[in-house]
Amino acid sequence: MSNFSSIGDQARSYQLRLSQFLLKGKLDRLSKEVTTGIKDDIPLALNGDLSRISSIETRLTMLAAHNQNASEAKSMFAVMQSALERIQTVVVEAGPNLLNEAGGSSEDMLRLSANTMTEEFRSFFGALNTEVSGRHVFSGTRTDTAPLAAFEDMVAELTATTAGATTATDIVNRIDAWFDAPSGAGGFADTVYRGSNSGNNNIAVATDRAVGTNLTANSAELRTTLKGMAIMTYVSESGAGLDSATMRELFNAAGLRLVSAGVGITNARAMLGMQEAAVAQATTRNTAEISSLSIARSTLIAADPYETATALQETQASIESLYTLTSRLSRLSLTDYLS
């Protein structure tokens, strides 16, 4: 004979466990919605039409990538500007000073000035070899390689290039020719410059805008600077081997090149400034669009905070009631109930 009371107890126990499971699931879902502010079941919230939210999410991902690119471009241009400012500060002062010293300073003062300029030249190598986030910014597309070899390597090449030259004109012409020699001719581009001769790859900072620069350590604007500084290094390395007249001619030649270089560096920095402005504009536009799309996204899938909080309280109250009922029927402890 069947025990109907036992069957009833089993059905009641199953129903209580099912209610417990459903309420806990609802509690978890509502808690998540309160925390994130987003509907837990997005397809249900959108009645199965995910096309619009998918389009918004795709666009937000793209804009985030563009802003990341813009941040990297901003850092790159800032580092380049800082290096050029360091060089420009020396060049714009040194050019006129060398021209003045050529006609009025003593030989001892000229040699002291040449030694000082050589040390400044050494620091230029450090400035042009600068990097940001592991990328060498004056190496063109070869960003994994420092653009310039060691300063001592350049001095050695300079010595070999000018060997046998006896007049200031010959010395200067050889230095100019060495710096301007095309790749494959054994000049600066082959022996000291290690980057590529094309600028950095363009960086997409917006759907319709990419930024970049053609400036490298082998660009004409910087080679003019290097020529003037190299002439002064030649004077410094030659020591007492130069007569006064030749030394003064070399000072004059170096000064003229540095005066010209100052203009070139100013133009280069202006071009970088235009790229920096483009990055700033793109970032502003991207940020505004991100804000607009985020609002649209929220409108579609945001959970109403008041409704969600109310439902959460009601669910918590239902769980408490269910626990009270369960404990009365089966004398369960709270610990047993939650296990």
* E strand segments, 36-155: 131-132, 135-136
Give the 3-state secondary structure of 139-163: CCCCCCCCCECCHHHHHHHHHHHHC
Rounded to whole angstroms, the Cα distance separating 143 from 183 reads 19
Task: Write down the pLDDT at residue 241.
Answer: 81
Task: Write down the pLDDT at residue 296.
Answer: 84
Task: Write down the pLDDT at residue 337.
Answer: 47
Higher pLDDT, 61 or 330: 61
Residues 231-247: tens digit of each pLDDT: 999 999 987 788 999 99
pLDDT beyond 50 at 81: yes
- Tell me which H or E stretch contains 137: none
Asked whether the beta carbons of 252 and 228 are under 8 A apart, the reply is no
Q: Which range, of 30-39, 97-106, 152-161, 290-299, averages the lowest pLDDT?
A: 30-39
Asked whether the beta carbons of 170 and 117 are under 8 A apart, the reply is no
Average pLDDT in the 52-70 region? Answer: 92
pLDDT beyond 50 at 190: yes
Average pLDDT in the 15-35 region? Answer: 60
Residues 101-143: tens digit of each pLDDT: 998 888 999 999 999 999 999 999 999 999 998 899 999 999 9
Average pLDDT in the 215-222 region? Answer: 94
Task: Write down the pLDDT at residue 104.
Answer: 83
Question: Where does the pLDDT of residue 201 fall: very low under 50, low under 70, confident under 90, or very high at 90 and above?
Answer: confident
Percent of the chain with pLDDT over 90: 63
Asked whether the beta carbons of 276 and 82 are under 8 A apart, the reply is no
Task: Write down the pLDDT at residue 5.
Answer: 47
Residue 197, φ and ψ in degrees, nearest 5 = -95, 15
Q: Which range, of 89-93, 107-111, 266-270, 334-338, averages the lowest pLDDT?
A: 334-338
201: Cβ contacts below 8 Å, ≥ 6 apart: 141, 212
Residue-range domain boundaries for the chain: 55-292
Give the distance from CA 144 to its chain's centroid: 14
Task: Write down the pLDDT at residue 37.
Answer: 56
Average pLDDT in the 242-267 region? Answer: 95
Residues 312-323: tens digit of each pLDDT: 566 666 666 666
**Average per-residue pLDDT for the chain:** 84
Task: Write down the pLDDT at residue 150.
Answer: 96
Of the candidates 176, 195, 164, the one whose C-alpha atom is nearest the C-alpha of residue 253 is: 176
pLDDT beyond 50 at 173: yes
Which pTM does this prediction carry? 0.77
Task: Write down the pLDDT at residue 322.
Answer: 60
Q: Residue 136: helix, strand or coil by DSSP?
A: strand
Residues 285-312: tens digit of each pLDDT: 999 999 999 888 777 665 556 565 566 5
Task: Write down the pLDDT at residue 295.
Answer: 84
Task: Write down the pLDDT at residue 42.
Answer: 58
Is CATH 1.20.1330.10 correct for 55-292?
Answer: yes
Asked whether the beta carbons of 70 and 205 are under 8 A apart, the reply is yes
Task: Write down the pLDDT at residue 82.
Answer: 96
Task: Write down the pLDDT at residue 4.
Answer: 45
